[in-house]
């Protein structure tokens, strides 16, 4: 992947490209507060610290929920990885024994990562196409984690969602493109690798589903979806991080191994005073070996962790209603 230095453009450049923020153009199990109990300003100030050099207390999941409920955090940036899609049935990449890199076997592939290397794809695109066939839109559906993030957006709290995933389930859940940064691209568009013309994505899928290599209608070159392969530049929209992370007042990190750069380094880009909530099966990355005083690590099953946060927020019924409503829409589209 490209180095972080490649993306160190001034914030002014990013603002000129994308406009200024938001929707505008651009561990312990804690106690559960009563549903109708208002959050006092004293409670919020105790979480943020009251100044005067007072020592900051360690935060827990309850504290994050109180900050959100009190709307003390209204510019939430979210980073997600493959772990949020495993409940939808999509394997992650790196889990030993169950991840894609452990289980993928193809006689023409020297090692699993090769199907995401551009040089190998240009030499032999068939293994990637075989894998892409499994990712056909409609094969998988969003799960409760995607809809929790959608609820953050519906409540006006989501500044931006940065995703490593190429499955497109964030879009399917109803999160608008203006709120998404698909750092590793997506299957939503495709480009000829020879003449660089945009190719209809419907033609790409027709070829893949018919077990054919997608080819350009103009020059017959191999067509590749706009998924970022190893060694390729990230989408220009990734530059939004220059503006988003310094202005965030809460960072949520869900289901990512924080191993692939430059995405992983974004976890360090928020101000040191900003709480970071990390939900994952295990502690990884800088939050493991260089934690900050305002970090909250919620380890274990990701669905359980999200449901616990939703319960603390008092959003359980709203989330249930949203899931039922959106699932019904998708079921209707399938008929």
Distance CA 60, CA 78 (A): 18
Distance CA 126, CA 273 (A): 48
- 90 versus 251: the higher-pLDDT residue is 251
Terminal C-alpha separation, the chain: 40
- Mean pLDDT of all residues in 1-27: 35
Distance CA 304, CA 60 (A): 16
- 17 versus 70: the higher-pLDDT residue is 70
Distance CA 311, CA 316 (A): 6
Percentage of the chain modeled with pLDDT above 90: 62
Average pLDDT across the chain, whole number: 82
Count of alpha carbons within 13 Å of 43, Cβ hemisphere only? 16
> Of the listed 146, 153, 184, 241, which one is catalytic?
184
pLDDT at 112: 79
CB atoms within 10 A of CB 330: 13
Residue 3 has pLDDT above 80, yes or no: no
- 106 classed as catalytic: no
**Containing H/E element for 278?**
strand 276-280
pLDDT at 44: 47
pLDDT at 28: 30
pLDDT band of 21, cuts 50, 70, 90? very low
Mean pLDDT is lowest, of 59-73, 105-119, 206-220, 283-297, for 105-119
Mean pLDDT is lowest, of 32-36, 51-55, 205-209, for 32-36
pLDDT at 9: 36
- 49 versus 254: the higher-pLDDT residue is 254
Residue 73 has pLDDT above 60, yes or no: yes
pLDDT at 178: 96
Residue 30 has pLDDT above 60, yes or no: no
Residue 141 has pLDDT above 60, yes or no: yes
pLDDT at 138: 82
Mean pLDDT is lowest, of 108-112, 144-148, 198-202, 231-235, for 108-112
Residue 115 has pLDDT above 90, yes or no: no
Distance CA 209, CA 214 (A): 10
pLDDT band of 136, cuts 50, 70, 90? confident
Q: Classify 12 as helix, strand or coil.
A: helix
Distance CA 313, CA 294 (A): 19
Mean pLDDT is lowest, of 11-25, 126-140, 237-251, 310-324, for 11-25
Distance CA 1, CA 115 (A): 15
- Mean pLDDT of all residues in 278-297: 89
pLDDT at 64: 97
Distance CA 166, CA 90 (A): 11
**What's the token pair of residue 67?**
């900050």
């Amino acid at each position: 992947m490209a180095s972080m230095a490649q993306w160190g453009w001034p914030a002014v450049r990013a603002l000129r490209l994308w406009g200024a923020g938001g929707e505008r153009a651009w561990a312990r199990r804690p106690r559960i507060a009563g549903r109708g109990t208002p959050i006092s300003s004293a409670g919020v100030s105790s979480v943020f610290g009251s100044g005067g050099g007072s020592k900051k207390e360690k935060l827990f999941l309850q504290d994050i929920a109180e900050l959100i409920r009190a709307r003390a955090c209204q510019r939430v940036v979210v980073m997600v990885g493959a772990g949020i899609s495993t409940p939808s049935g999509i394997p992650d990449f790196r889990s030993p024994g169950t991840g894609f890199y452990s289980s993928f076997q193809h006689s023409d592939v020297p090692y699993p990562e090769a199907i995401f290397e551009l040089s190998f794809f240009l030499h032999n695109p068939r293994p990637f196409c075989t894998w892409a066939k499994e990712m056909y839109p409609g094969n998988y559906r969003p799960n409760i984690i995607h809809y929790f993030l959608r609820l953050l957006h519906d409540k006006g709290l989501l500044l931006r969602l940065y995703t490593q995933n190429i499955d497109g389930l964030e879009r399917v859940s109803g999160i608008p493109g203006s709120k998404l940064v698909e750092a590793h691209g997506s299957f939503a568009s495709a480009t000829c690798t020879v003449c660089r013309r945009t190719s209809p994505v419907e033609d790409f899928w027709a070829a893949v589903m018919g077990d054919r290599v997608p080819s350009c209608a103009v020059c017959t070159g191999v067509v590749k979806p706009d998924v970022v392969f190893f060694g390729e530049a990230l989408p220009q929209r990734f530059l939004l991080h220059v503006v988003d992370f310094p202005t965030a007042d809460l960072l949520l990190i869900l289901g990512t191994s924080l191993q692939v750069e430059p995405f992983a380094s974004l976890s360090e880009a928020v101000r040191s005073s900003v709480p970071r909530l990390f939900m994952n099966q295990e502690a990884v990355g800088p939050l493991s070996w260089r934690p900050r005083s305002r970090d909250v690590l919620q380890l274990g099953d990701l669905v359980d962790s999200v449901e616990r946060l939703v319960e603390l927020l008092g959003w359980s019924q709203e989330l249930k209603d949203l899931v039922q409503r959106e699932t019904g829409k998708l079921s209707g589209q399938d008929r």
